[in-house]
Structure 1
Amino acid sequence: MKQMDRRLLILMRLREETPVRASDLAQDCECSVRTVYRDIDALCQAGVPVASMPGEGYRLVPGYHLPPIAFAAEEAVQILLGIDLALGLGTMAQRDAARSAAAKVDAVLLPETREAVARLRERIRASPQIAGELSPHLPLLQEAVVGDRVVRLRYHSYEPDRVTKRDVEAHLLVFYSGDWHLIGYCRLREDVRDFRAGRIESARLLDETFVRRKIDDGYDPGDMEIEVRIWIDERAARWAREDLAFGFVSEEPADGGFVFTFRVRDVPRLLPWIFSRGAAARVLSPPELVQRLREEARALVGRYPDA
């Protein structure tokens, strides 16, 4: 923990009504007791009146008030729910940072607000899940995105099924469809590409930096090249809406069901979603996707020959 963050956390803990022991502060800050003593001394030199209570610990002198951070209970819950999401989607270091942030939020709440927040959090929870394991390359990808760095990837493409080496200008990290995705300019394809973190076999940060491009629309479904229209029967439509594939644009009623429209860069990425609908789905366009489904269906039937 950085010195400024550590001292801010100590200051927040000292606001509590009961004294705090140096050993408890050291545990919260993940530092030595000696470091806590130095930090408290620095706070005193800065004009913060810290009272030492023998056998009990430290606290701010009664009557001294820091400018309040007045979170309403609902505001605090939303912040803490966001932190819960970070706990579920981040690396170990990111989870530690999230826990530290949660402690800081809790420390500045008024007692009555803290009680209301505790009640709300018992009833409102966020439990995000990653499909598979969290990519070990996530910290490196984050460093690349923050530092405008080029990253060299060995990436396992879905279609075709092979591994290629890519030098990517790392622009964005986005979480959707159960995994983190790196959005960046691929120098091999000379275009903006979406790299699913779980498919990255290796990643290396290059010394090279880049000038950021305007790529916000590079992964927007409205700017994808291929339009796909899929009819889903009425009974299955509600379940399809709960698990929409990436690239969804719109839906409209038609013939006892609904037509779902997607825009994608390549049609194979929609195959798993279509097959999961079973006979309740019928692809209307494009023709190449219809043909690909026929081929996959024949191969599937071939797995189960008649006895």
Structure 2
Amino acid sequence: MRRADRLFQIVQYLRGGRLVTAAQLAEKLEVSERTIYRDIADLVGSGVPVEGEAGVGYVMRAGYDLPPLMFTQDEIVALVAGARLLRAWGGIAMAAAAEEALVKINAVLPDDARSRADKVQIHALSVAPPSDEVRERLDRIEAAIEARVLLETRYTKEDGAESTRCLRPLGLFFWGRVWTLVAWCELRQDFRNFRVDRFTDMSEGERFREERSKSLLAFYEMQRRCGIPQPRTI
């Protein structure tokens, strides 16, 4: 991570008026506590209102770095509802990030908008939420998509047959109760749609070079040409 990006992330973690220790920041950003101490000193020196000390923790005074645009009422409803959906159905890291996003959103909203956010009555509940294993798998797949990393998988088809696949993960899609992965299957040399809960094993492989013909954009274009709503699900 570039230093400028790390400084930005520190500011984001400190927003919301919560006490955050150097150890917590170091763990989140995967650097040493000594690096965090230097970064905090640089932020303070540049005028960022960070208060605290080593061994105790840091907090940023409310009101710093307000966004130039405020959310509309409808946008607030959408953000809160979306975050609640991810908390209920997303990966473990996704759910934690959704919770963090709600805290940050509330930190910058004026009183009337914050009151509207608190009154959003859209909830995501389920009698059969994804298992922790599936949630963790979602996070790993999302990370592999971002990093362009191959996934070596074992997969159980709808008819019970098992297969081993090497996949280029391209996109995750949520269908109400089921998550699917759109991927380029190296075995079939074609796009395929895989149910995330049917993977029986998965490991990260080598990075792959992005190819236009094997991208998510190419998949969308193929869908449009063929007039089909989704790729073949196995």
Q: If the length of structure 2 is used for normalisation, what is the TM-score?
A: 0.71
Q: AA paired with 2:183?
A: G
Letter in structure 1 aligned against 2:9: D
Unaligned runs of 5+ in 2: 1-5, 27-32, 53-57
1:133 maps to what in 2?
131
2:184 aligned counterpart, secondary structure: strand
Cα pair distance change 1:74/1:201, threshold 3 Å: same
- Would the aligned equivalents of 1:51 and 1:61 in 2 still touch at CA under 8 Å? no
The answer for the alignment partner of 1:191 in structure 2 is 190
The equivalent residue for 1:115 is 115
> Following the alignment from structure 1 to structure 2, what is the Cα–Cα distance between the partners of residues 148 and 223?
28
- Over 3 Å counting, the alpha-carbon distance change for 1:84 and 1:195 in structure 2 is same
Say which SS state the counterpart of residue 16 (structure 2) adopts: helix
Partner of 2:30: none
Question: CA deviation digits over 1:192-230, x for unaligned, max 9?
Answer: 111101100111111140433211255679645xxxxxx
1:156: which partner in 2?
156
Higher percent of residues as strand: 1
CA distance in 1 between partners of 2:111 and 2:90 (Å): 30
Root-mean-square deviation (CA, aligned residues, Å) is: 3.7
Show the counterpart of 1:5: 9
d(CA) in 1 for partners of 2:59 and 2:185?
A: 55
Tell me the SS of whatever aligns to 1:25.
Answer: coil
Structure 1 pair 9/77, CA: closer, same or farther in 2 (3 Å)? farther
Amino acid at match of 1:46: S
Contact preservation (8 Å) 1:68, 1:108? no
Q: CA deviation at 1:41?
A: 4.4
Q: Separation in 2 of the partners of 1:60 and 1:133?
A: 39
7, 13, 19: which one aligns with 1:25? 19
For 1:104, the equivalent position in structure 2 comes to: 104
Structure 2 counterpart of 1:4, one-letter code: F
Residue pair 2:89, 2:130 contacting (<8 A) in 1 also: no
**8 Å contact from structure 1 (residues 7, 39) kept in 2:** no
**1:221 and 1:264 in contact (8 A); partners too:** no
Aligned residue runs from structure 1 range 269-284, under 5 A? none
Change (3 A) 1:265 1:215: closer
> Contact (CA 8 Å) 1:145, 1:172: kept in 2 or not?
yes
Question: TM-score, with normalisation over the residues of structure 1?
Answer: 0.56
SS in 2 for 1:181: strand
In structure 1, stretches of 5+ residues that fail to align are: 15-23, 225-246, 248-262, 270-307
| 1:150 and 1:207 in contact (8 A); partners too | yes
Aligned equivalent of 2:122: 124
Distance of 2:51 and 2:209 partners within structure 1: 52
Match of 1:147 in 2: 147
Kindly tell me the number of residue pairs found equivalent between the two proteins.
Answer: 209
SS of residue paired to 1:26? coil
Rounded to whole Å, the distance in 2 between the matches of 1:61 and 1:79 is: 21
Residue 173 (structure 1) aligned with residue 172 (structure 2): yes
